[in-house]
A and B are shown apart, each in its own frame.
Chain A
Amino acid sequence: MKAHLSRRYLFSASHRLHSEAMSPQENLATYGKCNNPYGHGHNYIVELTVSGQVDERTGMVCNLADLDSFIEREVLARFDHENLNTLQEFAQEVPTTENLCIQIYEIVHRGFPRAHLERVRLEETMMNSFEYTG
């Protein structure tokens, strides 16, 4: 039987939305308050969904301890309590939640083969969330 397992994790990070390809006026018009040069922060919630056959011996799609330790090591340690604009991952792109969502998807897709990654959903605030399915 195929089931879909979803797990949620929280991390806190700051960012500033700004593009060097735009003029100051364009940046302000495009990004509004998010263009504040000092940045601002969010408690991000990342919700991962993996799918697979439920293992008859364990009753699991994948071992949660394995998933948790992978995410802790490869996602949370990388982004938690960081200023996203200072990270290598965002040297060439604006750290919008869209781009962060895609980055997290790629990290998990490349590094966690034990279950099929269905989607990554990233909640920036209670009102905004983004999903990427690859």
Chain B
Amino acid sequence: MVYLTRKAEFSASHYYHNPDFTPEENLRIFGKCNNPNGHGHNYTLEVTVKGEVDPRSGFVVDLKQLKEVMHRDVLEAMDHRFLNKEVPEFIHRIPTTENIAIAIWQRLVSKLETAKLHRIRVYETPDLFVDFYGEP
């Protein structure tokens, strides 16, 4: 089994807010991230797929296809967007790094042809990242 990772960057804004919480609870739990005008990050996305190496091509996956899928199904939706207002998954779900990683997994998992999705890693900053392996 060989693991291949492809990176991409996207820039987006978001804020953390639960409408079921009181304003005080939102501020206490989310702090500055509760600013309703949002704040931004340069996110780094790592998509890791796994599979056996095809003996004819030497590839685990056609990288052109992987890049195209990442661009079409993730980056076009999230890059240079206000996540809370413009991405369907985050109208009713808080766009934390955890939920972003899960949403990206759900967008990509059925789109790969020759390899299997192993892990989605999302860096919110260089010092904070989340891994999602598709576990329930």
Contact = CB atoms under 8 A, between A and B. Distances in A.
Partners in one complex: yes
Interface string A1-44: 11111111100000000000000000000000000000000000
Contacts of B136: 1-2
A59 B98 CA distance: 7
What size tier do the contact residues of chain B reach? 20 to 34
Given A63-B29, A65-B31, A6 B129 contact: yes
Contacts of B101: 3
Contacts of B6: none
A65 B94 CA distance: 17
A54 interface: yes
Interface of B: 16, 18, 20-21, 29-31, 93-99, 101-102, 126-133, 135-136
Interface of A: 1-9, 49, 54, 57-61, 63-65
21 contacts: A2-B136, A3-B101, A3-B102, A3-B131, A4-B133, A5-B98, A5-B128, A5-B129, A6-B128, A6-B129, A6-B130, A7-B127, A7-B128, A9-B127, A54-B102, A58-B16, A58-B18, A59-B96, A61-B98, A61-B130, A65-B31
